[in-house]
């Protein structure tokens, strides 16, 4: 009898975990991704701020999949899913399936603000992190020889939108890059000439955290020299300015947008599914589609309601859902079923700077050095690959001792024209 | 009294060494490069074959120059030199000098074969190494799903032109990448389907080496499975084929050109200098220009005759000349002079593969494991920066133990359109 085929579309945290759980099974497993590597997104901001090399947070997928019998990896762009014909359309042809796990994640949501989408950086892909690093370094190179005070100020002003973990972590890391490293690299630029402005629409940073941690993060960032602007909203941008709701215009050559994510475009290209806010696909309690029990949607793409709200778009949710979907497929084949998916919230954390982070875990809250240490160890633990762990650990140790970030290379002076690759 | 100004144009091995020697002096030192990093070119081929990350062989120049008083680094493209007006033209404006060290190195020489220039890769810049790595990996991804036997063969055929150190080292490293790593990554591709063809116009590889080492290198490469084609000449190329002198056409999607270098374009943009073969600028015994004793040319750009032949275009020559030029400038200011430049040949080496290299040093020759070990240690020693040494050592140890190369990431599916940046 021919083996049944499971297709896993997307090899982020959800797809990877699902594949791992299915790898030893009796299915034919086909994994599809447009990149040949798994990206450890939580550390992208460190690549963008010259703290880590790109290669340290990417793991070649074939290095994993080659250990799995009956499995095939396919480097392809996923174009759509035909739920009736049980087929995934890719740019290298159609792939039929018996079971499908859809896990292509999310994209940045610019909320239809075209000028922002054109001029802002976002931080979802490896190539974008490199682009941002190149850009920040170039701004300092240009400023170091710019005499005109207005142009110089715009070059040295960095606007970050969104006070979630990415915005907080990026702002803190950029500030430390300037204070500890650029202050020595660029003797003609004073730290006081530089501005980092973190704009958040709500009246608090890190909205998912308990209040005293939110306040700690806010105070810490401000004491480091980041200008935090609460209840502010960016409504437009040009190459040389950022416009706020209310009319204020900030001359700035750098805008990072981390104020929203939406389901990846694939979600819109699957006919006959119910969609919720941010384009996420509504799933059943077992993560399958209502009319298509053989199709599971996991991670950022899935809208799964728990305690009256959709689960957040973050790595632990994706991982747990990937594992659950795989378990469900295995159970089905044995004529069994599983209890509905339940998200085990193991906590969340965000690092603010050197020796400073906030964390919630097991009903307890942590902040400062202890939270920072926990953050480091957990990220090392979850990173894939012995070599990558070593490289990251080495970089962190080096940065901590020498207050240095060595990956401050300008590898291209142009923003990548092709936004679809990375 | 105002300080005299020394401008160093180009921060490769020659410019870097000259700058170091002038850093503590009483001159105003201005260093210009189009990149903000010094590149350790001898290991570029390892980046191209997924053995090292780009960042490991690049060192941020400001990390060096910030330690030097009276020095300024300028990230600019050098457009020309006005010897009469004592001015360097850059894309960010003119820079006047009292002394000038020209050290912008070399470019690949395609000998006016336009079709080769269009379709071949060359390996001088960091971005080119990344392009080659991406391309090799893509060829295997495409081949893994290609059913047509002819197209499949072309995807798996790699032609390397030039039997000097770069061609030999690249061929060996690519072969080992395929045999040790891709054989496991791509279960549907047999190693016997792949071809690496090293084409050399002369009747020997590594012409600068003693004969028994040349023979050793040839036999070793052949025993590893590299097809070495001596007395062969590539005369044309398309995207899907390589044409040899005599009419043979090899279907291949990958052509690496390492068969010639010429002085960088700047050499042609300096009026009133004498040029020799490959566009190199003829220098006096003290490396200065005949009519312009305040201008020194060092490294690949300089044509310096020793024992009846120009010195080779390699790192040790550039380093020694850079240091000499700096010494000469310092001596002049004290009304002194130095004996003419003399190149101290400390030997040369090339690695062929795992535990295998050839080396000449201090009148002795080495080959095999001992030469390979010496190669590793010397390259680690000459690499700049503690962190980079650690990363490289770690990668090498990891590769040796696990027969693994982890940097096999496809970071872009397009060849960089902009050939002028890197």
Q: Is residue B54 part of a domain?
A: no
pLDDT at A402: 85
What's the average model confidence in pLDDT over B396-400?
Answer: 88
B319 Rama class: left (phi>0) / alpha (psi -120 to 50) / beta: alpha
Quick one: tokens of B182?
Answer: 């891709």
**Of A142, A162, A157, which is closest to residue A207 (Cα–Cα)?**
A162
Sheet holding A249-251, edge to edge: A234-238, A241-244, A249-251
Nearest to A37 among B74, B409, B413 (CB): B409
- Chain B CB contacts of A37 under 8 Å are 409-410
What's the average model confidence in pLDDT over A274-297?
Answer: 97
Containing structural domain, residue A170: 114-259+347-402
Q: Is residue A162 part of a domain?
A: yes
* One domain for residues B24 and B104: yes
Question: B227-229 and A241-244: which strand pairing?
Answer: unpaired
Distance from CA of A382 to the nearest CA of B (A): 17
| Strand (E) or helix (H) holding A257 | strand A254-257
CA angle (B54, A61, A102) in 5-degree steps = 130
Quick one: tokens of B339?
Answer: 């004996």
pLDDT at B422: 35
CA angle (A88, A99, A265) in 5-degree steps = 40
Is residue A50 within 8 Å of residue A236, measured between CB atoms? Answer: no
Do the Cβ atoms of A406 and B56 come within 8 Å?
no
pLDDT > 90? residue A251: yes
What's the average model confidence in pLDDT over A352-371?
Answer: 92
pLDDT at B414: 73
Distance from CA of B48 to the nearest CA of A (A): 14
Q: Is residue A324 part of a domain?
A: yes
* One domain for residues A215 and A145: yes
* Alpha-carbon Rg for chain B in angstroms: 22
Q: Is residue B413 within 8 angstroms of chain A, CB to CB?
A: yes
Buried b / exposed e along B78-93 (16+ C-beta atoms within 10 A): bebbebeebbbbbeee
The string of pLDDT tens digits covering residues B369-390 is 999 999 999 999 998 888 889 8
- Chain A CB contacts of B62 under 8 Å are 185-186, 408
* One domain for residues A297 and A246: no
Interface of A with B in 75-134 (CB under 8 A): 75, 92, 126-127
Q: What are phi and psi of A135, to 5 degrees?
A: -65, -45
Please tell me the distance from the alpha carbon of residue A266 to that of residue B36, in angstroms, as a whole number: 39
* One domain for residues B142 and B94: no
What's the average model confidence in pLDDT over B293-319?
Answer: 96
| Strand (E) or helix (H) holding A281 | strand A281-282
- Chain A CB contacts of B55 under 8 Å are 53-55, 406-407, 409
- Chain A CB contacts of B385 under 8 Å are 406
Please tell me the distance from the alpha carbon of residue B197 to that of residue B340, in angstroms, as a whole number: 43
pLDDT > 70? residue B315: yes
Q: Is residue A420 part of a domain?
A: no
Q: Is residue A57 part of a domain?
A: no
In three-state secondary structure terms, A63 is helix
Q: What confidence category does residue B418 fall into, taking pLDDT thresholds of 50, 70 and 90?
A: very low
Do the Cβ atoms of B53 and A56 come within 8 Å?
yes
pLDDT > 50? residue A417: no
**Of B138, B144, B165, B161, which is closest to residue B227 (Cα–Cα)?**
B161
User: pLDDT averaged over chain A?
Assistant: 94
- Please give the C-alpha separations between residue B217 and each of A71, B214, B367, in angstroms, as whole numbers: 40, 5, 9
* One domain for residues B266 and B386: no
pLDDT at A1: 66
pLDDT at A203: 97
What's the average model confidence in pLDDT over B198-203?
Answer: 98
pLDDT at B20: 96
Nearest to A409 among B60, B404, B416 (CB): B60
pLDDT > 70? residue B417: no
Nearest to A412 among B127, B141, B398 (CB): B127
Interface of A with B in 378-407 (CB under 8 A): 385-388, 390-391, 394-395, 398, 404, 406-407
pLDDT > 60? residue B150: yes
* One domain for residues A312 and A180: no
Question: B87-90 and A356-361: which strand pairing?
Answer: unpaired
Is residue A71 within 8 Å of residue A5, measured between CB atoms? Answer: no
What's the average model confidence in pLDDT over A281-293?
Answer: 97
Do the Cβ atoms of A409 and B55 come within 8 Å?
yes
Do the Cβ atoms of A184 and B66 come within 8 Å?
yes
Please tell me the distance from the alpha carbon of residue B324 to that of residue B286, in angstroms, as a whole number: 8
Q: What confidence category does residue A420 fall into, taking pLDDT thresholds of 50, 70 and 90?
A: very low
Interface of A with B in 207-246 (CB under 8 A): none
pLDDT > 90? residue A135: yes
What's the average model confidence in pLDDT over A217-229?
Answer: 98
The string of pLDDT tens digits covering residues A101-127 is 999 999 999 999 999 999 999 999 999
What's the average model confidence in pLDDT over A268-297?
Answer: 96
Q: Is residue A46 part of a domain?
A: no
The string of pLDDT tens digits covering residues B217-238 is 999 999 999 999 999 999 999 9
Q: What is the CATH number of the domain that holds B118?
A: 3.50.50.100
Nearest to A418 among B141, B414, B422 (CB): B414
Dump the DSSP string for A328-396.
HHHHHHTT---PPP------EEEEEETTEEEEEETTEEEETHHHHHHHHHHHHHHS--HHHHHHHHHHH
pLDDT > 70? residue A6: yes
Which of A406, A412, A415, A419 has the highest number of chain B CBs within 10 A, making it the mutation to test binding with B? A406
Nearest to B92 among A145, A385, A410 (CB): A145
Q: Is residue B286 part of a domain?
A: yes
Is residue A264 within 8 Å of residue A107, measured between CB atoms? Answer: yes
* One domain for residues B247 and B364: yes
Question: A230-239, B110-119, B410-419: which range is least confident on average?
Answer: B410-419
Cα distance from N-terminal residue to C-terminal residue, chain B? 40
Buried b / exposed e along B377-389 (16+ C-beta atoms within 10 A): ebbeeebbbebbb
Q: Which long-range contacts (CB under 8 A, 24 or more apart) does B312-318 make?
A: B312/B208, B313/B106, B313/B261, B314/B348, B315/B13, B315/B41, B315/B42, B315/B382, B316/B345, B316/B346, B317/B343, B318/B12, B318/B13, B318/B14, B318/B17, B318/B103, B318/B105
Q: What confidence category does residue B400 fall into, taking pLDDT thresholds of 50, 70 and 90?
A: confident
A225 Rama class: left (phi>0) / alpha (psi -120 to 50) / beta: left
The total of structural domains in chain A comes to: 2
* One domain for residues B265 and B373: no
- Please give the C-alpha separations between residue B300 and each of A75, A314, A365, B33, B316, in angstroms, as whole numbers: 42, 52, 61, 16, 10
Write the secondary structure of chain B as one string of H (helix), E (strand) and C (coil): CCCCEEEEECCCHHHHHHHHHHCCCCCEEEEEECCCEEECHHHHHHHHCCCCCHHHHEEEHHHHHCCCCCEEEEECCEEEEECCCCEEEECCEEEECCEEEECCCEEECCCCCHHHHHHCECCCCHHHHHHHHHHHHHHHHHHHCCCCHHHHHHHCEEEEECCCHHHHHHHHHHHHHHHHHHHHHCCCCCHHHCEEEEECCCCCCCCCCCHHHHHHHHHHHHHHCCEEECCCCEEEEECCEEEECCCCEEECCEEEECCCEEECHHHHHECCCCECHHHCEECCCCCECCCCCCEEECHHHEECEECCEECCCCHHHHHHHHHHHHHHHHHHHCCCCCCCCCCCCCCEEEEEECCEEEEEECCEEEECHHHHHHHHHHHHHHCCCHHHHHHHHHHHHHHHHHCCCCCCCCCCCCCCCCCCCC
pLDDT > 90? residue A253: yes
**Nearest residue of chain A to residue B126 (CA atoms):** A411
ipTM above 0.90, yes or no: yes
Do the Cβ atoms of A407 and B55 come within 8 Å?
yes
pLDDT at B235: 97
What's the average model confidence in pLDDT over B322-337?
Answer: 96
Nearest to B185 among A66, A186, A388 (CB): A66
Please tell me the distance from the alpha carbon of residue B389 to that of residue B137, in angstroms, as a whole number: 26
**Residue from A130, A146, A169, A323 carrying the catalytic annotation:** A169
pLDDT > 50? residue A419: no
- Higher-confidence residue of A2 and B160: namely B160
Please tell me the distance from the alpha carbon of residue B63 to that of residue A36, in angstroms, as a whole number: 33
Do the Cβ atoms of B411 and A54 come within 8 Å?
yes
Quick one: tokens of B108?
Answer: 């690949």
Q: What confidence category does residue A421 fall into, taking pLDDT thresholds of 50, 70 and 90?
A: very low
**Of B338, B321, B279, which is closest to residue B106 (Cα–Cα)?**
B279
Question: A17-21, A138-142, A345-349, B216-220: which range is least confident on average?
Answer: A345-349
Is residue A103 within 8 Å of residue A15, measured between CB atoms? Answer: yes
pLDDT > 50? residue A353: yes
Name the burial class of residue A215, with classes exposed (0-12), middle (13-18) and buried (19+) by CB atoms within 10 angstroms of its CB. Answer: middle
Dump the DSSP string for A126-144.
HHHHHHHHHHHHHHHHHHH
Q: Is residue A71 part of a domain?
A: no
Count of Cβ atoms closer than 10 Å to residue B147 Cβ: 6
Residues recorded for chain A: 422
pLDDT at A387: 86
Q: What confidence category does residue A78 fall into, taking pLDDT thresholds of 50, 70 and 90?
A: very high
Is residue B38 within 8 Å of residue B343, measured between CB atoms? Answer: no
pLDDT at A198: 98
pLDDT at B13: 97
Do the Cβ atoms of B55 and A418 come within 8 Å?
no
Sheet holding A28-33, edge to edge: A71-75, A28-33, A5-9, A99-102, A295-297
**Of B235, B165, B243, B178, which is closest to residue B205 (Cα–Cα)?**
B165
Quick one: tokens of B386?
Answer: 């503690």
Q: What is the CATH number of the domain that holds B293?
A: 3.50.50.60
In three-state secondary structure terms, A241 is strand
**Residue from B130, B146, B169, B323 carrying the catalytic annotation:** B169
In three-state secondary structure terms, A196 is strand
A176 is catalytic: no
* One domain for residues A268 and A392: no
* One domain for residues B324 and B382: no
**Of A184, A189, A158, which is closest to residue A171 (Cα–Cα)?**
A158
Please tell me the distance from the alpha carbon of residue B328 to that of residue B289, in angstroms, as a whole number: 13
Q: What are phi and psi of B337, to 5 degrees?
A: -145, 175
* One domain for residues B180 and B120: yes
Q: What confidence category does residue A416 fall into, taking pLDDT thresholds of 50, 70 and 90?
A: low
**Of A53, A49, A54, which is closest to residue A182 (Cα–Cα)?**
A49
* One domain for residues A160 and A181: yes
User: pLDDT averaged over chain B?
Assistant: 94
In three-state secondary structure terms, A309 is strand
């Amino acid at each position: 009898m021919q083996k049944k085929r499971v297709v896993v579309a997307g090899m982020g945290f959800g797809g990877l975990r699902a594949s791992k759980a299915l790898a030893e099974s009796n299915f034919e497993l086909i994994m599809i991704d447009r990149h040949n590597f798994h990206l450890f997104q939580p550390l992208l901001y460190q690549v963008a701020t010259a703290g880590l090399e790109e290669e340290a947070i990417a793991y070649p997928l074939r290095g994993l999949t080659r250990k799995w019998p009956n499995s095939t990896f396919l480097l392809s762009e996923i174009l759509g899913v035909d739920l009736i014909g049980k087929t995934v359309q890719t740019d290298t042809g159609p792939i039929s399936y018996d079971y499908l796990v859809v896990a292509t994640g999310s994209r940045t949501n610019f909320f239809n603000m075209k000028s922002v989408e054109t001029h802002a950086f976002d931080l979802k892909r490896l190539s974008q992190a490199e682009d941002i690093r190149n850009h920040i370094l170039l701004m300092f190179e240009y400023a170091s020889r710019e005499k005109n005070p207005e142009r110089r100020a715009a070059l040295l002003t960095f606007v970050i939108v969104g006070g979630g973990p990415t915005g907080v972590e990026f702002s803190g890391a950029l500030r430390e890059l300037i204070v500890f490293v650029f202050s020595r690299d660029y003797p003609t630029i004073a730290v006081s000439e530089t501005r980092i402005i973190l704009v958040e629409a709500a009246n608090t940073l890190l909205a998912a955290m308990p209040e005293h941690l939110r306040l700690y993060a806010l105070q810490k960032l401000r004491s480091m020299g980041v200008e935090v602007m609460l209840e502010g909203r960016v409504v437009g941008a040009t190459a040389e300015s950022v416009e706020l709701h209310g009319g204020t215009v900030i001359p700035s050559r750098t805008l990072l947008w981390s104020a929203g994510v939406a389901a990846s475009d694939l979600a819109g290209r699957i006919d006959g599914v119910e969609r919720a806010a941010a384009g996420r696909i509504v799933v059943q309690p077992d993560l399958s589609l209502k009319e298509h029990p053989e199709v599971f949607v996991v991670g950022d793409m899935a809208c799964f309601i728990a305690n009256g709200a959709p689960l957040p778009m973050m790595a632990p949710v994706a991982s747990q859902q990937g594992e659950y979907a795989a378990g469900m497929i295995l159970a089905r084949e044995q004529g069994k079923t599983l209890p509905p998916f339940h998200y085990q919230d193991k906590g969340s954390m965000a690092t603010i700077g050197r020796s400073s982070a906030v964390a919630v875990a097991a009903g307890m809250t942590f902040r400062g050095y202890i939270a920072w240490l926990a953050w480091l160890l957990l990220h090392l633990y979850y990173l894939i690959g012995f070599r990558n762990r070593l490289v990251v650990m080495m970089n962190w140790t080096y940065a901590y001792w020498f207050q240095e970030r060595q990956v401050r290379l300008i590898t291209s002076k142009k923003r990548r024209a092709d936004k679809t690759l990375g």
